Structure 1
Amino acid sequence: MAYFKPDRYFSRLSQISIEKDILGCGFENVLLDIDNTFVPRDTQVIPRDARVWLGCAREAGVTICLLSNNWHKVVYDFADEVGLPIVAKAMKPCPPAYFTAMRKIGAKRKNTVAIGDQLMTDVLGAHTVGIKAYLIQPLVEQDLPHTLFLRHFERVLMGDAQPEAPVACERGEEVRI
């Protein structure tokens, strides 16, 4: 059951403190899911708070690789827009894409955390390869049919777990990407 238990649980990406929750926990690298973690699945527009978070992470020297099961051109365009490396068609929770993403950014397991919105893909995949996993609530409820089906199991596994209390970005200002 520990494979499905996130190491930390947050309401949004922007609630993860770069200083305390990333660097303060010994992480230098982040494997970041895209759909419903960094951008809403319904709009594909980066929320302002996610842009601020990314800017804070970059300023702090955190290295990020996007890791997505999505295979459409939009995720590659998105990676270009934000200037981040990407491993798409990841087939999470299968391990190979995690190792590929870590190789792309020169990461080691001990200093890498995966951040995503799904237990069955993001958390399970990270734990399978021996890295920590932070779960966030999905940005929107709209999702693919198979993902909505898996969300029922996630609710059972999470029980009455609540996200950690919110924090603000250390700098509190938007950094242009």
Structure 2
Amino acid sequence: MFFPKAVLPSLLHLTPAWLRERGLKGVILDLDNTLLPYGEEDLPAAYQAWLEALRGEVPIYLLSNALPERFARVQTKLGLPGHAPALKPWLGFRRALKALGLSPQEVAVVGDQIFTDVLGGNLVGAYTVLVPPLREGEFFYTRFIRMLETPFRRPRGGLG
């Protein structure tokens, strides 16, 4: 439950072709330290271009444990469906799947944390993808959790 199906060196490596090769038709995407550096609200230029390319090919749903006010501001800027706080890993994923209209086997859950993104995605049967965090500076609790995640930061059976 704690191991991702794939580990990518960057979110930018998750391309429409990569998704197609695995039969994936949609993406549930974490926000903080996956798409945006922790605490920021503006997408870096490379990530904006990546997002536009991906959005043209597959539906994307933002799922975050961020505070609702900040999430709403970012979501409005990005123009993507989603919700927060999602209470990952236990809640939020089924709502996201329903919004995408896809089965779990057709969806990549992409995030930077094992105990929220990977565990939650695995619990619903999705294809889980772990990416490195965009920024080391983050909430104290998250830094502590990352130390506990270290043994699980590898894919099951290869790089996916």
Give the TM-score normalised by structure 2: 0.91
Kept in 2: contact 1:113–1:134 (CA 8 A):
yes
CA distance in 1, matches of 2:9, 2:41: 19
Following superposition, the deviation at residue 158 of structure 1 comes to 2.7
How do 1:1-177 and structure 2 match up within 5 A?
Answer: 3-19=1-17, 21-60=18-57, 62-94=58-90, 96-158=91-153
List gaps (5 residues or longer) in structure 1: 165-177
Match for 1:149: what amino acid?
F
Structure 1 counterpart SS, 2:62:
strand
List gaps (5 residues or longer) in structure 2: none
CA distance in 1, matches of 2:95, 2:39: 28
Size of the aligned set, in residue pairs, is 157
Flag the structure with larger Rg.
1
Q: Percent identity?
A: 31
CA distance in 1, matches of 2:108, 2:151: 24
